[in-house]
Amino acid sequence: MKKNSMKKWVIASTATFSFLTIQGVAQADTQHNVHEGDTLWSLGQKYGVSVDNIKNVNHRQNDTIYIGETLSIPNGQPVQSGSYTVAAGDTLWSISSKHGVSVDAVKQANNLSSDIISIGQALTIPTGGQAPAPQPAPAQAQPAPAPQPAQANANNEEKELLARLVEAEAKGEPHAGKVAVATVVLNRVDSSDFPNSISEVINQPGAFSPVSNGAINQPASDDSKRAVDEAFANRGATQNGALFFYNPQTAQDEWIKSRQVTAVIGNHVFAK
């Protein structure tokens, strides 16, 4: 009886130890060394966790991270990937919605610099974890903190103006469409054919109907603000160079319809 009791105790203890060991491994945080270009947003996409969870585990009050530091990723495992072949009518927005991931995650997994995809194209789709809820796009990892420039407040005002324009022009459109509208304004600022600031581009006579009808005075949604952040983060990386957008169902200007189409997102056609 004593031998049997001892044997049962050993088996039970071993099973308990194994269970606790497995539990400990499953719940262990992943350590990530921050590299140039990393953001809390991109790390959340990579490991399938939210930005807030990463900030809480690392006791962060803001989104700033620094090259070379080590961050704990709660229950982090790199997100696995699947594949998808683009069919007629697909957009990055529809594909990402179908698979429960963000447009940015799909673009990052496929090294895409624009929203243009082609029928028959094979895309890598990040899977293996629930996509984090959308978060404001944070600044990229920085070598060291630096004082804000004197014109930071003016830039913030222009970003707010741009977000209100995006809200007025693309309310109800997919997030990728809002990013594309903001990108059109930034492309105009960078073009020698248009004024040199966001406010001047937006207020150029006849450029945007929300300016003339007053819709631009309505507050911007969080989604529109995130779209502006993403447009700034990817400024110069998009090669399609769209300078115009229009709704083909309502546009009456034949000239704009003659421009070279760079993308179709939601109800808007983007052209240059």
What are the extents of the domains in the chain?
A: 80-127, 152-271
Q: Residue 164 pLDDT > 90, yes or no?
A: yes
Tell me the average pLDDT of the chain. 75
| pLDDT, tens digit (0-9, with 9 covering 90-100), for 233-266 | 877 665 468 889 998 888 888 888 888 888 888 8
Per-residue pLDDT reduced to its tens digit, 133-142:
444 444 444 4
- CA within 13 Å, CB half, 239: 4
Helix (H, G, I), strand (E, B) or coil at 87: coil
2 has pLDDT over 50: no
- Which CATH number does 80-127 carry? 3.10.350.10
Please compute the mean of the pLDDT values over residues 11-31 and round it to a whole number.
46
Q: Band of the pLDDT at 80, cuts 50, 70, 90? A: low
Given this model, what pLDDT does residue 127 score?
Answer: 62
| CA neighbours closer than 13 Å in the CB half-sphere of residue 55 | 13
As to burial, measured by CB atoms within 10 angstroms (0-12 exposed, 13-18 middle, 19+ buried), residue 163 is buried
Residue 153 pLDDT exceeds 70: no
State the average pLDDT over residues 95-121. Answer: 79
Quick one: pLDDT at residue 139? 43
Cβ distance 47 to 77 under 8 Å?
yes
Exposure of 192 by Cβ count < 10 A (0-12 exposed, 13-18 middle, 19+ buried)?
exposed
Tokens of 134: 């959308």
For range 185-192, the mean pLDDT: 88
Q: What is the mean pLDDT of residues 189-211?
A: 89
At 190, the pLDDT band (50, 70, 90 cuts) reads confident
> Does the pLDDT at position 7 exceed 70?
no
> Residue 154: is its pLDDT beyond 50?
no
Write the CB contacts of 230 (distance below 8 Å, at least 6 apart in sequence): 104, 137, 179, 182
Q: What is the pLDDT of residue 6?
A: 44
CATH number of the structural domain 152-271: 1.10.10.2520
Phi-psi region of 71 (alpha: psi -120 to 50; beta: other; left: phi over 0): beta
Residue 162's pLDDT band (boundaries 50, 70, 90)? very high
CB of 40 within 8 A of CB of 104?
A: no
Say how far apart CA 210 and CA 272 lie, in whole Å: 21
C-alpha to C-alpha distance for 194 and 67, rounded to whole angstroms = 37
Q: How many CB atoms lie within 10 A of CB 47?
A: 22
Q: Could you tell me which residue, 53 or 27, shows the higher pLDDT?
A: 53
Distance between CA atoms of residues 231 and 253, nearest Å: 27
